[in-house]
Amino acid sequence: MSTILRILRFTRSLTPYYLSIMAAAAVVTAAGIAVPFITGAATDTVVDAVGSVTNGSGIPDGAIRSVVLLALALLAASLVETVASNLGGYWGDVMSERMRTILSTRYFEQLLALPQRYYDSELTGTIVARLNRSIAEITGFMKSFSNMFVTMLMTTVAVLAISAWHYWPLAVLLLLAYPAYLWLTALTSRKWQRIEREKNEHVDEASGRFAEVVGQIRVVKSFARERSELDRFSDHFGETVRLTSEQSRHWHSMDALRRGVLNLIFFALYVIIFVRTVTGHFTPGEMVMLIQLMAMARQPVQNLSWVVDTAQRAAAGSRSYFEVMDLDPAAVGGAGSLPRKAEAERGGGRRGDETDPGSPHRGGADASGASGSPGAPGSAPVVAFRDVSFGYDEHGDVLSGVSFEVWQGERIAFVGESGGGKTTLINLLLGLYAVRSGTIEVAGAGPDLASLRRSIGVVFQDPSLFSGTVAENIAYGRPEATRDEIEAVARRAAVDVFASKLPSGYDTVIGERGMKLSGGQKQRIAVARAMLKDAPILVLDEATSALDTKSERLVQAGLDDLMRHRTSLIIAHRLSTIAEVDRIITLRDGRIDEVGPPDELSRSGGIYAELLALQSSSSKADRKRL
């Protein structure tokens, strides 16, 4: 219930709708309650008339006029009911659509704010399925409840008051029906809810897998796993069918019991009404009216279990809705929007424990002012990692005590074995994850992550394109770019050579995540996207790894040109592409191993020299084979 109140607060702007729907429901109910009175009065008039006709005194004066007027009153009541219920239905539709808009927009906003870490452990399809279900359950409930609540309340109060007025034991019996019904409903609700949760888990899981399979259909097909994916999918739904049948059997047997109890109570009510009419305590008209009122009272009682059910569903829906809404973007273990300095200070206690005396780079990094630091072309570093440690989870650090500085206009490359933490370094620089300890400083970036990220142009290892056109993808970091600007970077990134051959050139839609392009083509678009962003810091994470030597040379020329005017951090797959950088930093076991210019490191016998030897021998072997 408290979560439903939260939904009401959350959608406060819809209050006029709630009130209008309730007003319409009140009118509908009032018109409904008028009917037994009218038919009761008509019955008494008719019984009188029949009596006097049988006596031989003829039709009483005005009797016909009275019954026609009463029929008119019935007509009026149903007209009012028709108008009010349709108005209420219309407001209900608009209200629930607006509610869906509000709830899903706020949810999307929250998802966008959540850090990378949230997405590391959630399947896209599951996120979508959960959102859709919660919202459907919440809006469905709010719509019918705002209508039903008033109807139930008014009918109940009216029927109780009228029957108490006529003969109080009727009201007492009726009052008994409510707790009996609620109690019998409550008996079933825990089991019902447990099964409902279990069902939802199956649906969410199946949806998550579904989306993954559709997204990776090529792998599924080429490993001939269609059958087993299908089986896995239908297993989930086999379970939901089984669970639903258990849930429904349980619910309906309890419902039969509830209605049985209700029927007994109504049996007693009818006996009382009939007997009291026979004994002359009630007129026939009163009897008709009371019986109709009792029938009206039955509905709200029976609705109780429906209300409890949908309320539970909506409560479950809003719980899973708020589970995500209540996540604190800064606290989900990731860098949300906290200033990065503050985060680092939280973990600051570990500083110093993780110094790496083996790192030749440590000395330089300690000079925090760094103005007089040797080899520093500018006054302050553009990027500074100071004693940064980080791990994705509790088990072990991916990076330990990493410190380095990058100077204005410098090109710096990171080398290390696969899985050595190079991409992680980039993730930290972009603030996608919060460091465990240490600090990362980026000159010119404000305290917020958006300004930090505006100052960095990045080409990810996996090109990560959208389903739009080539041009839209290139312009993603700068949507206001002109066509000429887009085409200019496309030429520099060697996109033009293949874009011109696409069916609609730059306006070709490239499929989900760029499915319709080759790996190298995707990479070139990603490079063009980073070029167009024109940020002061350029980050390349194996940006040309999928290119053939010829295209790589083309793109490299464009990149060299781009790097000339800015600070660059480069992770390269082929060491030949970083032979020209100013400095290389090598990583070993999450720590910095060596720092120095390429020619110096190539002679030092470290990882760089090792990898260089490996690569040149394999390329020699390649050449020999040709």
Which residue ranges make up the site for ligand ADP (CB under 6 A)? Answer: 120, 392, 398, 416, 418-424
CB-nearer residue toward Mg ion: 29 or 423: 423
Specify the residue, 120 or 226, whose C-beta has the smaller distance to ligand ADP: 120
State the SS3 of 428-464: HHCCCCCCCEEEEEECCCCCCHHHHHHCEEEECCCCC
From the list Mg ion, ligand ADP, none, which binds 120 (C-beta under 5 to 8 Å, kind-based)? ligand ADP
If the CB atoms of residues 429 and 445 are measured against ligand ADP, the closer one turns out to be: 429
Distance CA 32, CA 151 (A): 10
Measured between alpha carbons, how far is 291 from 270 in angstroms, rounded to an integer? Answer: 7
Look at the block and give the residue holding tokens 């206001």.
480
- When CB distances are held under 5 to 8 angstroms depending on the partner's kind, the choice from Mg ion, ligand ADP, none that residue 258 binds is none
Quick one: DSSP state of residue 578?
A: G
Residue/partner pairs of 347-354 with CB below 8 Å, 24 or more apart: 347/389, 347/435, 347/436, 347/437, 347/438, 348/437, 349/437, 350/389, 350/436, 350/437, 351/387, 351/437, 351/438, 352/387, 354/387, 354/389, 354/400, 354/401, 354/437
Nearer to ligand ADP, 318 or 423 (CB): 423
317 binds, among ligand ADP, Mg ion, none (CB under 5 to 8 A by kind): none
For ligand ADP, give the closer residue by CB, 424 or 556: 424
Report how far residue 333's alpha carbon sits from residue 346's, in angstroms, rounded to the nearest whole number: 12
Residue 305 contacts Mg ion per CB under 5 A: no
Q: Is 566 left (phi over 0), alpha (psi -120 to 50) or beta?
A: beta
Which amino acid, 74? L
Q: How far is CA 155 from CA 66, 164, 273, 357, 419, in A?
A: 27, 14, 19, 81, 69
DSSP one-letter string for 323-347: HHHTS-TTTSSS-SSS-HHHHHHHT
* Least distance (Å) between residue 458 CB and ligand ADP: 13
Question: Nearer Cβ to ligand ADP, position 220 or 432?
Answer: 432
Say if CB 401 and CB 589 are below 8 A apart: no
> Which candidate, 595, 599, 577, places its Cα nearest to that of 586?
595
Shortest distance (Å) from residue 424 CB to ligand ADP: 3
- Give the 3-state secondary structure of residue 181: helix
Residue 421 binds which entry of Mg ion, ligand ADP, none, CB below 5-8 Å type-dependent: ligand ADP
Q: Which is nearer to Mg ion, 422 or 436 (CB)?
A: 422
Decide: is 423 part of the binding site for Mg ion (CB under 5 A): yes
Residue 571 Cβ vs Mg ion, minimum distance, rounded to whole Å: 6
Closest contact distance (angstroms) between CB of 585 and ligand ADP is 12
**What's the min distance (Å) between Cβ of 359 and Mg ion?**
21
Q: Which of the choices Mg ion, ligand ADP, none does residue 420 contact, using the CB cut-off of 5 to 8 A by kind?
A: ligand ADP
Q: Is 120 or 231 the residue whose CB approaches ligand ADP more closely?
A: 120
Shortest Cβ distance from residue 121 to ligand ADP (Å)? Answer: 9
What residues from 54 to 73 belong to the interface with Mg ion (CB under 5 A)?
none
CB of 590 to ligand ADP, least distance (A): 8
Stretch touching Mg ion by CB under 5 A, among 102-110, 112-120, 418-426, 612-620: 418-426
Q: How far is CA 560 from CA 532, 551, 555, in A?
A: 15, 14, 9
For residue 544, the partner it binds in Mg ion, ligand ADP, none, with Cβ less than 5 to 8 A by kind, is: none
Which residue's entry shows tokens 């200070």?
Answer: 345
Among candidate residues 430, 435, 377, 436, the one with its CA nearest the CA of residue 408: 377
Tell me how far apart the alpha carbons of residues 566 and 408 are, in angstroms, rounded to a whole number: 7
567 binds Mg ion (CB under 5 A): no
218-257 residues in contact with Mg ion (CB under 5 A) are none
Nearer to ligand ADP among residue 512 and residue 589 (C-beta): 589
> CB under 5 to 8 A by kind: which of ligand ADP, Mg ion, none does 600 bind?
none
At 111, is the secondary structure helix, strand, or coil? helix
Q: Which does 560 bind (CB under 5 to 8 A by kind): Mg ion, ligand ADP, none?
A: none
Strand-pairing partners, residue 595, are: 585
Least distance from ligand ADP to the Cβ atom of residue 389, Å: 13
Question: What is the spatial distance between Cα 526 and Cα 475, in angstroms, rounded to a whole number?
Answer: 10
Q: Token pair of 142, please?
A: 């709010």
Continuous segment of H or E residues that includes residue 390: strand 383-390
User: Which of Mg ion, ligand ADP, none interacts with 392 (beta carbon under 5 to 8 A by kind)?
Assistant: ligand ADP
Block residue for tokens 């029929």: 71
User: Nearer to ligand ADP by C-beta: 40 or 606?
Assistant: 606
Q: Which is nearer to Mg ion, 424 or 567 (by Cβ)?
A: 424
- Which one of Mg ion, ligand ADP, none interacts with residue 36, CB within 5 to 8 A by kind? none
**Total chain residues near Mg ion (CB under 5 A):** 3
- Residue carrying the six token digits 């009275």: 66
- In 3D space, the residue among 216, 257, 592 whose CA is nearest the CA of residue 421 turns out to be 592
Instruction: Name which of 377 and 419 has its Cβ closer to ligand ADP.
Output: 419
- Considering the complex, what minimum distance in angstroms separates the CB of residue 120 from Mg ion? 15
Please, what is the minimum distance in Å from the beta carbon of residue 345 to ligand ADP?
24
Q: Which is nearer to ligand ADP, 317 or 336 (CB)?
A: 336
Among ligand ADP, Mg ion, none, residue 398 binds (CB under 5-8 Å by kind): ligand ADP
Nearer to ligand ADP, 396 or 503 (CB): 396
Integer Cα distance of 619 and 27 in angstroms: 85
Q: What x/- string results for residues 449 through 488 when contact with Mg ion is judged by CB under 5 A?
A: ------------x---------------------------
Partner from Mg ion, ligand ADP, none contacting 533, C-beta within 5 to 8 A by type: none
Q: Are 523 and 558 in contact (CB under 8 A)?
A: no
Contacted by 517, from Mg ion, ligand ADP, none: CB < 5 to 8 Å by type? none
Give the closest residue to 544 by CA, choosing from 562, 559, 523, 563: 523
Question: Which residues in this chain contact Mg ion in the complex, by CB under 5 A?
Answer: 422-423, 461
